[in-house]
Amino acid sequence: MASVRPIEPPTDSRTRAAARSRIVLVLLTVLGGGLGARPALAVPAVIPLPATIVSGAGEFRLAATTPLVAAPGDGAGLAAARALAAELATSRGAAPPVRAGAARDAAIVFEVRAGLGAEGYALEVTPARVTVAATTAAGAFYGATTLAELIPAGRGPVRLAAVRIADAPRFAWRGLMLDSARHYESPRFIRRLIDAMAAMKLNVLHWHLTDDQAWRLEIRRYPRLTQVGAFRVPAGRGARADIDARTGEPRLYGGYYTQKTVRALVAYAALRHVLIVPEIEMPGHASAAIAAYPALGTVALNAVPADWGVYEHVFNLSEPTCRFLENVLEEVAALFPGPYVHVGGDEVATHEWQASPPAVARARELGLAGVEQLPHYLVGRMARVLAAHGKRLVGWDEILAPDLDRGALVQSWRGRDGARAAASQGNDTVLAPWPTLYLDFRQSRADDEPPGRVKTSTLADVYGFEPLPPGLAAPAAVHVVGLQANVWTEHMRTEARIAHAIFPRAAALAEVGWTPAASRDYAGFLARLAALWPRYRRLGLPFADSAFAVRLDASPGDDPGAARVHLATESGAGQIRYTLDGTTPTAQSPRFTGPLTLASGTVLVAASYADGELLGAPRRYTVEAVPESRTSQALELCSEALPLALEIDAARGAPRPVVLLDLMNPCWLWRGVDLSGAPELTASIGPVPFNYQLGADGTKIRVGDARTASGELEVRLDGCEGEILASLPLAAASPLGLSRLAARLPARGGHHDLCLRFARPTLDPMWALERVALRQ
Active site positions, annotated: 211, 285, 347
Please give the DSSP secondary-structure letter assigned to residue 441: E
| Helix, strand, or coil (residue 429) | strand
Classify burial at 776, counting beta carbons within 10 Å of its beta carbon; exposed 0-12, middle 13-18, buried 19 or more.
Answer: exposed
Backbone angles phi, psi at 770, to 5 degrees: -95, -40
Q: Report the distance separating Cα 106 and Cα 124, nearest Å.
A: 13
- CA-nearest of 198, 278, 264, 213 to 541 is 198
Q: Report the distance separating Cα 113 and Cα 669, nearest Å.
A: 65
CA atoms within 13 A on the CB side of 113: 17
Q: Report the distance separating Cα 499 and Cα 197, nearest Å.
A: 12
Q: Report the distance separating Cα 317 and Cα 325, nearest Å.
A: 9
| Helix, strand, or coil (residue 20) | helix
Q: 564: which strand partners?
A: 555, 597
Q: How many residues comprise the chain? A: 776
Give the pairing type, strands 575-579 and 562-568. unpaired
Q: Report the distance separating Cα 586 and Cα 576, nearest Å.
A: 10
Q: Look up residue 96 and give its amino acid.
A: P
Q: Report the distance separating Cα 264 and Cα 270, nearest Å.
A: 10
Q: Report the distance separating Cα 286 and Cα 29, nearest Å.
A: 53
Q: Report the distance separating Cα 390 and Cα 76, nearest Å.
A: 25
Neighbours of 263 (CB within 10 A): 15
DSSP assignment of 143-154 equals HHHHHHHHS-SS
Quick one: which H or E segment has residue 606? Answer: strand 603-610
Those residues whose C-beta lies under 8 Å from the C-beta of residue 547, and which sit 6 or more positions away, are: 443, 458, 459, 460, 504, 526, 569, 570, 571, 573, 616
| Helix, strand, or coil (residue 419) | helix
Those residues whose C-beta lies under 8 Å from the C-beta of residue 657, and which sit 6 or more positions away, are: 647, 648, 686, 738, 770
Q: Would you put residue 653 in left (φ > 0), alpha (ψ -120 to 50) or beta?
A: left
Please give the DSSP secondary-structure letter assigned to residue 146: H
Under a CB-based contact definition with an 8 Å cutoff, are residues 633 and 658 in contact? yes
Please give the DSSP secondary-structure letter assigned to residue 243: B
